[in-house]
Each structure stands twice: as structure tokens, then as C-alpha cells.
Amino acid sequence: MLFGQHLCLLRGGGDLATGVALRLHRSGFPVAVCELTHPLAVRRTVAVASALLDPEGEALIEGMGARRVEGVDEMQELAANGVVPVLASSDLPPVAQIARSVVIDARLLKRNPDTAIEDAPLVVALGPGYTAGIDCHAVVETLRGPDLGRVIYKGCAANDTGTPGTVGGRSAERVLRAPTNGVASWERTIGDRVTTGEVLGSVGTTPVTALIDGTIRGLIANGTPVASGTKVGDVDPRGDEVDIDRVSDKALAVGGGVLEAVLAWVGSED
């Protein structure tokens, strides 16, 4: 492994975090992930968080393998062997438990509850809610547009617009949100074609219906407890053009920004 001495530890294992992991992994960096016990990943077919949901504890995304681990002690060795270990932990393990060169906050919380610039020699955060030079060393822009994937070394990413990016001419209506607090339960699955008004499942006893025609690109895992308003699914209006097993252009662009920041730091250390 080209950069085997530089472990990159990601907080979050959703689809954008997985784009970051894929870029780093393919470039020769060992990668490890900490994710919630009940992942909120929607695009599960392209999320390393799926390793926590799989009965065998494994996930494969575009040739990159991920595996569930039960403790921090397993992470370093697995990552060194080219597999992405995924640990169910909302907390960042102490440096004494797992040495790392880079910490990447890929949780997309749009606020910073606990990431600190002292967490690693290089700390990178994705999207709004973080200030480069104070909370972290670098921020990577996540808003679609000319600055997507840009590395920011001073200041913040663009503010959250509250409106999902436009795909196939559709924006907010392609996103499914929990209508109430409860547990998600689905009658349809990722990859299914659906029509406007079709019942896809429920949260608690309240139905969740498609707002547009299209292909289900993502659904939060069955049995996941969610709060009202949480994103629980994504319907893509492009229909058969959608490849549910392919990491998105946005995730790869953001991953490219993180890779740029990491390589710049490695170069400055030599």
C-alpha cells in the first residue's frame, strides 16, 4: 500500500463518505470508518455503512470491500490489508487506541458537535457547519455547483440551502422524509420503479408515498428508528438510467477534494 503509514479515519459511512473512502482507497491509503449503530444511510448499495446491516457484516462498493468490526483493535490491521473496517461507534476513538494521520468528518451534520482540529495531524470536514483553521484544517465543499469538491483552508463551506440538488429536473420532491417519529418499514426496495402516489412503506403507522415517478435510488434500512423530517429515501426521476450500484458524481467530486487535501498534507510532511 503506497501510503500505508497514513491511516485515514472517517466519521460517517454514508454515500458521500463512501466516495471519499473510495478515492483514498484507490490511491493507496488505508481507510477505517466509524458509523452509527443504526446507520441513517439512504443510498445503502453504495455506502460502507451497509456492512453494519449485512448479516455477514460485509459490503462491496465498486470493488472496495468493507467489513464490520467489533472493536478498535481490529481496525488497524484490517485497513492495512486493504479492507475498510466499519465500527459501530458515534464517538471518535482516542489516539491511544488507534493511531491515525487523518480524520475526516463525513457525517454531514451541518453543525459541529465534537470535531476538533486536534483530533489528528490533518482534520478535514465535509460541508457547512465547520470553520477551516478553527474546527479543522480544511473543509470540502459539498454544494452542487462550480465549487463542488473545492478545498477550503480558511473559512466555511456554503450555507445549507435546505433544498436538495436538482436531478432530472426535480429537487425537493424526489426526497422522501419521515412523516412522523417511528420505525421505518418498506414494501418496496432500492431499484424498484415507482409512480406518483404509490405507497412505498411506512414510518410507524403513517404511509410514505412517492411524490414523483422514477426509480428508488435509496431507502433507509428496514427497522431503523427515525425522527420526523429525517430523510428516509430518494426517488430518481431518470428511471432506467439510474445505476444503484454506482458511486455518484457528487460523492466522487467530494472525495477528490479530500484526496487533494490529504496529498497536499503528505507532501508538506516530506
* Residue 136 φ/ψ, nearest 5 degrees: -155, 170
pLDDT in tens, 199-242: 999 999 999 999 999 999 999 999 999 999 999 999 999 877 88
Query: What pLDDT, on a 0 to 100 scale, did the predictor assign at position 31?
Result: 98
> What grid cell was written down for 220?
433507509
DSSP secondary structure letter of residue 56: T
Angle among Cα 45, 49, 54 to the nearest 5 degrees reads 75
230: left (phi over 0), alpha (psi -120 to 50) or beta: beta
Q: Assess contact for 91 and 75: CB atoms under 8 A.
A: no
Q: Assess contact for 15 and 251: CB atoms under 8 A.
A: yes
Query: What pLDDT, on a 0 to 100 scale, did the predictor assign at position 168?
Result: 64
Query: What pLDDT, on a 0 to 100 scale, did the predictor assign at position 201?
Result: 98
Query: What pLDDT, on a 0 to 100 scale, did the predictor assign at position 169?
Result: 72
Classify domain 8-160+249-269 by CATH number: 3.40.50
CATH architecture for segment(s) 172-237: Beta Barrel (2.40)
Domain ranges within the chain, ordered by starting residue: 8-160+249-269, 172-237
Indicate the helix (H) or strand (E) that contains 265. Answer: helix 249-269
Q: Which residue ranges in the chain fall short of pLDDT 70?
A: 163, 165, 168, 170, 270
